A and B are shown apart, each in its own frame.
Chain A
Amino acid sequence: MKINGVTIDPTFAEAFPMKATRVIITADSPRWAKLAASTMTGFATSVIACGCEAAIERNLDPEETPDGRHGIAILLFAMGGKGLAKQVETRAGQCVLTSSTSSLFSGIDGGKRIPLGKNLRFFGDGNQISKVIGGKRYWRIPVMHGEFVVEESTGMVDAIGGGNFLILARTKLQAIAAADAAVTAIKRLSNVIMPFPGGVVGSGSKVGSKYPSVPVSVNDAFCPTLKGVARHSELSAGIECVLEIVINGFTQNDIEEAMRIGIEATCALGQENGIKRVSAGNYGGKLGPYHFKLQEIMA
Chain B
Amino acid sequence: MNALTFTLRRPPQQRVDLALLSCQRIAGLSTAEINAIELQCGKRRLRVDELFELSGSNNREIVFRNSCDKLDRIGHELDGGEITVEGDAGAYCGLGMKSGSIRVRGSAGIFAACEMHDGMLQIEGAAGDFLGGALPGNKRGMQGGMVIVKGSAGDRLGDQMRRGMVLVEGNVGDYCGSRMIAGTIAVMGTTGYSPGYSMNRGTLLLWRTPKLIATFADCGTHTSSSFLPLLFRSWRSLNSRFAEPKAAFSRIHRYQGDLSALGKGEILVKS
Contacts and interface: CB of A to CB of B under 8 A. Distances in A.
Interface of A: 26, 28, 66-69, 101, 103, 126-127, 129-134, 138, 140, 146-147, 149
A26 B233 CA distance: 15
The B contact surface, by secondary structure, is mixed
A44 to B, nearest CB: 25
B33 to A, nearest CB: 36
20 contacts: A28-B225, A67-B225, A67-B227, A67-B229, A67-B233, A69-B225, A69-B229, A103-B226, A129-B203, A129-B264, A131-B231, A132-B144, A133-B231, A133-B234, A140-B227, A146-B223, A146-B225, A147-B224, A147-B226, A149-B230
B266 A66 contact: no
Given A129-B266, A131-B227, A147-B227, 8 more contacts: A66-B233, A68-B229, A69-B225, A101-B225, A134-B234, A138-B230, A146-B222, A147-B224
Residue among A66, A130, A131, A149 with the most chain B CB within 10 A? A131
A129 B205 CA distance: 14
Contacts of A127: 264
Contacts of A28: 225
Contact of B226 (A26, A126, A129): A26
A147 B203 CA distance: 15
Contacts of A103: 226
Interface in B227-271: 227, 229-231, 233-234, 264, 266
Contacts of A66: 230, 233
B190 to A, nearest CB: 25
B266 A69 contact: no
B218 to A, nearest CB: 15
Contacts, number: 49
Nearest to A149: B226
Contacts of A147: 222, 224, 226-227
Interface of B: 144, 163, 182, 184, 201, 203, 222-227, 229-231, 233-234, 264, 266
Closest 4 CB pairs of A and B: A103-B226, A149-B226, A67-B230, A67-B226
Chain A interface mostly helix, strand, loop or mixed?
strand
Nearest to B223: A146
B233 A149 contact: no
A67 B224 CA distance: 10
A28 to B, nearest CB: 6
Contacts of B144: 132
Contacts of B184: 131
A110 B91 CA distance: 39
Contacts of B266: 129
Nearest to A63: B233
B255 to A, nearest CB: 14
Nearest to A146: B222
A146 B163 contact: no
B222 to A, nearest CB: 5
Contacts of A149: 226-227, 230
Residue from B163, B227, B230 with most neighbouring chain A CB atoms (10 Å): B230
A153 B227 CA distance: 17
A188 B164 CA distance: 40
A68 B203 contact: no
Nearest to A105: B230
Contacts of A133: 230-231, 234
A295 B144 CA distance: 55
B250 to A, nearest CB: 10
